[in-house]
A and B are shown apart, each in its own frame.
Chain A
Amino acid sequence: MRFQFKTSYDQDIRIFRDRVDVFWYGLLAVAVLALPLLLDEYSVGEIAWVFIYGICGVSLMVLVGFTGLVSLGHAAFLGIGAYAHAYFLMHGLPWVVAMGLAVVITTACGLIVGLPALRMTGIYLTIATLAFAVIIQEVFSRWESVTHGFAGMKVDKPVIFGVEIADDRSFYYLCLFFLVIVLWGTRNLLRAPTGRAWIAIRDSEIAAQSMGVHLAIYKSIAFAYSAGVMGLAGALFAHKIAYLAPDIFTILLSIQFLLLVIVGGLGSLHGAVFGAIFVALLPPLIAILRDSIPDSLAAFAASTGLTPVGAIGSAVGAFLAKPGVEAGIFGLILVLVILLEPLGIYGRWLKIKLFFSTFPMYKAATFKRQKSYMRSERLR
């Protein structure tokens, strides 16, 4: 067991609690920095998705997980960021300026969409954001002078201060950089009055108000910040997919973001990253299994003479190749997570950590009472 002795208030304020924390996060940093050198280009490209989804996850986590406002329209903010960034790049603005403008524009959109949030709660707000997303998707396809409609828009490789980020490895580091910045900024807000005000609004609006929190202002800030971060992710997203079309930013993408924060664990920044790993890496994992299971089982059947095993392998492969199976697996996992682990992957992570730190005295009852759902999930 590890005991932490506190001798100053700063120990509760700083990001890394003690040297052990610094060690583990340092190790993680080294691993993440060294990963592109060890893996092939394709895998590095897939992991860059984790970082982009991680930024999206932080964005939605602020709104859903910390402020308790559920949005089904975040794909629209991603789209606005992506299109704005691509548009400004096409008109010859420097990369940094284009990205800055993309963030400013999405932040402004977030503020405007946040206005109804001051009046609506729960499911009604969710429906309003959904309507917004549908409208924006229509705008993407109709406003051809800017978005080129369904003809699409090509996005070149980023050129930052004259340096072209041409290969997937450099882009991986670019995405990582922005994810770290976003995580750091959000963590700062969360340990300051703004973040506490968000949490207060999530758990009890009436008490928050009585303690001096201006509900309208802090809900607006949450919406604007969430949208701005999404816009940043959108700019990276545009480079990653290299070709923008209106049918990318659909309601399904919004649902996927919501799934990300719920599976990751509502109310924690770790959850945003865990959820991003899950959402970004599950599809490639399914693809790998689809290709490898039939072959490996066929090889096993050939070597042992058990022909049914080979048949099972090809059946599993054919099943995984069917359209819609991926969405089905996502849905199934979402249902299981909500039923069995309301705090998501992060909740499981806490239990595993506690198991090792208190070994051999871990007791499951420690977490018994925590299986309560947050108010934002109950959609009061």
Chain B
Amino acid sequence: MSLFSAENISINFGGIKAVDGVTFDVAKGEVFTIIGPNGAGKTTIFNLMSRIYDPSGGKLTFDGQDITGVPPHRIAALGIARTFQNIELFEHATLLQNLLLARHAHKRSNFFSELLFLPSVRRMEMAHREAVEKAIDFLDLQQYRDSLIVNLPYGVRKVTELARALCTDPKLLLLDEPSSGLNVEETEDMAFWIQDIKNLLGITVLMVEHDMSLVSAVSDRVMALNYGRPIATGTPAEVQAHPEVVRAYLGG
């Protein structure tokens, strides 16, 4: 059974059809990658899934529920977490605060109990901290726990964003170019982590990626997009060899 499915989704910006009738589904427990040249509509699909954009047509289903009309702040509670292409961390907060914020969808307190910091709030905070520490241990971020994000190097920020997404306890993880800006070694680490997320945590991963070595290393299935339309879907090797894909990247 598929965890997520998009049926015939489209969106227009003015006269440009950024996503034009895309249909795909992501099975539970797989790593599904979307590739395509610049401007193919990959990130737009992510923004449609996290409900930042409203699709002009089509239907999104997650875990058996229609999420086409769900407001963006409800998405995290449903179990979809994402990272951003150009890191969107809370820069003037510590790494710990960034990760704790990811627990927001699971909070069980109201304004007044927080104002008085009742014992229930303290207990909840400790429980959140425990969940956050698991992600910190998983991704080896211990030494940066109390650093402000502005003081951290780019590679660590990238991992922090991954950790923040994991802290929401997602069922589906959307990774928008996890390797962009990382060096070869960091990209290898990222590949291991994505595999661990899939195998150890059992989280389904949907990612957009350009680095074909990373894509072939971790993906179960790949979909290639061009001008907002899917041109090929299959295993990484199949898609890479597909004549349409070659034409999209190299022209001709």
Contact = CB atoms under 8 A, between A and B. Distances in A.
Given A192-B117, A214-B73, A199 B129 contact: no
A210 B104 contact: no
Given A194-B114, A210-B75, A204 B104 contact: no
A72 to B, nearest CB: 22
A271 B139 CA distance: 34
Contacts of B81: 210-211
A62 to B, nearest CB: 12
B125 A208 contact: no
B114 A197 contact: no
Contacts of A197: 101, 104
Interface string B165-202: 00010000000000000000000000000000000000
B1 interface: no
Interface string B46-84: 000010100000000000000000011111110001101
A108 B11 CA distance: 40
Interface string A199-210: 110111011111
Contacts of A141: none
Interface stretch (B90-98, B203-211, B233-241): B90-98
A191 B125 contact: yes
A211 B107 contact: no
A213 B93 contact: no
B57 to A, nearest CB: 23
Given A10-B126, A369-B151, A211 B105 contact: yes
Given A204-B88, A369-B150, A196 B101 contact: yes
A343 to B, nearest CB: 10
Interface in B78-134: 81-82, 84, 88-93, 96-97, 100-105, 107, 109, 111, 114-117, 121-122, 125-126, 129-130, 133
A193 B92 contact: no
Number of chain A interface residues as a range: 35 or more
Interface centre among B71, B91, B168 (most CB of A within 10 A): B91
A9 B168 contact: no
Number of chain B interface residues as a range: 35 or more
A374 B92 CA distance: 7
Contact of B122 (A10, A193, A196, A370): A10
B84 A213 contact: no
B119 to A, nearest CB: 11
Contacts of B71: 214
Contacts of B129: 9, 12-13
Interface in A151-210: 185, 188-189, 191-197, 199-200, 202-204, 206-210
A286 interface: no
B164 interface: yes
A202 B92 contact: yes
A117 B221 CA distance: 44
Interface centre among B82, B107, B117 (most CB of A within 10 A): B117
B104 A211 contact: yes
Which are the 3 A-B pairs with shortest beta-carbon distances?
A212-B105, A212-B76, A192-B114
17 contacts: A13-B122, A13-B129, A185-B116, A189-B115, A191-B117, A196-B93, A196-B97, A199-B90, A200-B90, A203-B90, A203-B92, A204-B90, A210-B82, A211-B102, A212-B77, A221-B111, A372-B150
